[in-house]
């Protein structure tokens, strides 16, 4: 079954259908500014509402040197989001009765010979690998995260080094994120299914979901064009260095995939469909729900994990099901809120980028807009406020603010901003070119006046007897 995706990337014409158009416009402005101020080379974003794309956008460059712009179809290394596809493959085999979650890895992989240094340890099982509670070390015995060439081992090299490694902890004792663990689960997929890992993933997950732009490798022939080039974290001079191309090779079940945000939207919509049916689609609905539940809680009560997914409690008590990725030159994050059938994906081609902050900002603006619509009781008719929209300078005190229509008022958003919803200021229209600030308690505060030039265009804002010059529309 292929999900129907309705994509709107410009014009915000979806406002009449969803009621979120003004909020999405503000999100677009905010993300564009955050990318600039954070000096992220390129970014692609999607917001999914159940079976539809609520909005998608892209900013900056996939290739700085050749000035290739990003789009929602731009490909990125998704790194550890790859683990979700390996986990789904494992659970499909579980659904088919071909393995059990408490099967020991040494029984599924006869060549497994990593030393267990704790004699009283619980076994290393499929379940403990899915929840990162197996006690295995984080990595295979190779320095593949080391630049400039990132020497990822092939499958044979991963196997050959197992006997030189040992467990860090007894199994089922602590959370220890492990790329090695998910790599071994990829080997389980191949061993149990009897077909190559790549073939199994494509035929059983990617093709059924029409995820044509998702691969178990990085497409080198598209690198610098459809595939974004990766860049490093910022150095002290505020620059990012181009990172060498890599392939994860033997670590691909944990970190080797490439994709775009549009395909991750399909991946999210598939999961939302399963939550509303009793019919199987790749997995049984009960199996996916089981994956979304917490299966591991660390002794400190701070780290919680499902089967393959990170499962955490959000600030508003919502269950968040997510996974991030970080590879040389790329940072990605995929997050779902099953209770709302809402999903977000943010892909960047730079390291050490604020992916959680970008998603939190988008979600908080949408929620604030929705909540204020519910509370809106003012039926007063106001003129079209778009002529006041634009960027206004706040230098030297802060960089700039953006003003845009928001319900029957104007929203004032400082840029850059790590808390766009919490810091949003509303201005209530009173008469032509005059507004009053809406206090947190709903009462009206000081008057703000817009001044025009000789041609009648908005030129500046007068606020508390001081001026902010309009920079651009």
434's CB contacts (< 8 A; 6+ apart) are 447, 448, 449, 450
Model pLDDT, residue 260: 98
When computed from its CA atoms, the radius of gyration of the chain, rounded to whole angstroms, is: 25
Q: Which two tokens stand for residue 77?
A: 């290394």
Model pLDDT, residue 375: 74
% of the chain residues with pLDDT over 70: 95
What is the per-residue pLDDT across 413-454, written as a single tens digit (0 to 9) for each?
999 999 999 999 999 999 999 999 999 999 999 999 999 999
Do the Cβ atoms of 119 and 294 come closer than 8 Å? Answer: no
**Separation between Cα atoms, residue 344 and residue 359, nearest integer Å:** 7
Do the Cβ atoms of 3 and 273 come closer than 8 Å? Answer: yes
Provide the mean pLDDT of the chain. 94
pLDDT grade for 26, boundaries at 50, 70 and 90: very high
Q: What is the pTM of this model?
A: 0.94
Q: Which two tokens stand for residue 444?
A: 């009206």
The answer, yes or no, to whether residue 377 has pLDDT greater than 90, is no
Strand partners for 435: 429, 448
Model pLDDT, residue 382: 86
Model pLDDT, residue 373: 80
């Amino acid at each position: 079954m292929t999900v129907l995706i309705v994509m709107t990337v410009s014009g915000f014409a979806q406002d009449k259908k969803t009621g979120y158009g003004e909020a999405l416009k503000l999100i677009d402005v905010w993300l564009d500014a955050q990318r600039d101020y954070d000096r992220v080379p390129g970014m692609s974003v999607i917001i999914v509402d159940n079976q539809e794309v609520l909005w998608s956008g892209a900013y900056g460059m996939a290739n700085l040197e050749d000035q290739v712009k990003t789009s929602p179809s731009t490909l990125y290394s998704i790194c550890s989001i790859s683990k979700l596809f390996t986990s789904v493959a494992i659970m499909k085999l579980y659904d088919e009765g071909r393995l059990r979650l408490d099967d020991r890895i040494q029984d599924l992989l006869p060549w497994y010979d990593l030393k267990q240094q704790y004699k009283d340890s619980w076994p290393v099982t499929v379940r403990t690998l899915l929840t990162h509670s197996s006690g295995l070390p984080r990595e295979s015995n190779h320095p593949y995260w080391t630049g400039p060439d990132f020497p990822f081992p092939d499958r044979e090299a991963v196997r050959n080094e197992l006997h030189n490694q040992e467990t860090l902890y007894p199994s089922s004792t602590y959370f220890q994120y492990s790329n090695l663990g998910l790599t071994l689960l990829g080997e389980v997929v191949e061993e149990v299914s009897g077909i190559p890992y790549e073939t199994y993933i494509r035929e059983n997950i990617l093709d059924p979901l029409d995820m044509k732009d998702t691969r178990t490798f990085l497409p080198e022939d598209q690198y610098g064009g459809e595939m974004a080039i990766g860049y490093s974290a910022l150095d002290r001079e505020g620059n990012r260095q181009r990172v060498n191309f890599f392939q994860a090779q033997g670590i691909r079940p944990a970190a080797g995939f490439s994709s775009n945000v549009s395909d991750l939207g399909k991946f999210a919509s598939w999961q939302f469909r399963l939550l509303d049916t009793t019919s199987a689609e790749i997995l049984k609905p009960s199996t996916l729900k089981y994956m979304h539940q917490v299966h591991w809680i660390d002794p400190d009560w701070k780290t919680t994990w499902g089967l393959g997914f990170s499962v955490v409690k959000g600030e508003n008590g919502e269950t968040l099901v997510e996974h991030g990725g970080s590879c040389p030159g790329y940072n990605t994050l995929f997050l779902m809120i099953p209770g709302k059938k809402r999903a977000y994906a943010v892909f960047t081609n730079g390291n050490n980028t604020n992916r959680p902050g970008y998603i939190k900002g988008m979600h908080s603006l949408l929620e604030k807009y929705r909540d204020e619509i519910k509370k809106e009781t003012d039926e007063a008719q106001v003129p079209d406020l778009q002529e006041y929209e634009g960027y206004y300078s706040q230098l030297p005190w802060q960089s700039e603010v953006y003003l845009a229509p928001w319900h029957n008022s104007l929203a004032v958003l400082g840029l850059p901003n790590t808390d766009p919803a919490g810091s949003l200021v509303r201005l209530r229209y009173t008469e032509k070119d005059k507004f009053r600030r809406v206090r947190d308690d709903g009462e009206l505060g000081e008057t703000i006046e817009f001044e025009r030039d000789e041609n009648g265009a908005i030129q500046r804002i007068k606020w508390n007897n001081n001026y902010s010059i309009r920079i651009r529309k």
